[in-house]
């Protein structure tokens, strides 16, 4: 089981983060349902939103914390050390 988990982790590292752009596109389409006349967002605005989230997903420091329960299982003191002393050490 440990070997399998290692293979999956290596595969994710080599392939990169999962592509979330499909969900974003679905959300953008869903937004048109709540406007008058079902007007779609302008192409420029859609491009700006996609660029924003592309940058965010590439540079998200907390993405690794959302993938597993390790951070949830840590005591509060260690969570603070990992987040402030390691992930965001350059900011704090």
Report the chain (92 residues): mean pLDDT per 10 consecutive residues.
68 61 84 73 87 87 73 82 83 79
Instruction: Look at the chain and report how many structural domains it folds into.
Output: 2
User: What dihedral angle (degrees, nearest 10) is formed by the CA atoms of 35, 25, 63, 3?
Assistant: 150
pTM of the model: 0.57
Whether residues 25 and 41 fall in one domain = yes
Q: What is the pLDDT of residue 10?
A: 65
pLDDT value of position 92: 76
Residues 53 and 65 in one domain: no
Same domain, 53 and 13: yes
Q: Is the domain of 17 the same as that of 34?
A: yes
Question: Who contacts 79 (Cβ-Cβ below 8 Å, separation ≥6)?
Answer: 71
Domain that holds residue 82: 61-92
Co-location of 38 and 2 in the same domain: yes
Q: Are residues 13 and 45 in the same domain?
A: yes
Q: Within this chain, do residues 55 and 29 fall inside the same structural domain, yes or no?
A: yes
């Amino acid at each position: 089981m440990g070997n399998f988990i290692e293979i999956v982790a290596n595969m994710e590292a080599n392939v990169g983060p999962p592509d979330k752009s499909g969900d974003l596109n679905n959300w953008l389409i869903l937004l048109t349902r709540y406007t008058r006349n079902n007007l779609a967002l302008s192409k420029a605005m859609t491009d700006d939103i996609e660029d924003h989230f592309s940058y965010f997903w590439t540079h998200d420091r907390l993405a690794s914390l959302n993938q597993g329960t390790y951070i949830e299982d840590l005591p509060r003191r260690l969570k603070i050390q990992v987040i402030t002393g390691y992930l965001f050490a350059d900011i704090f």
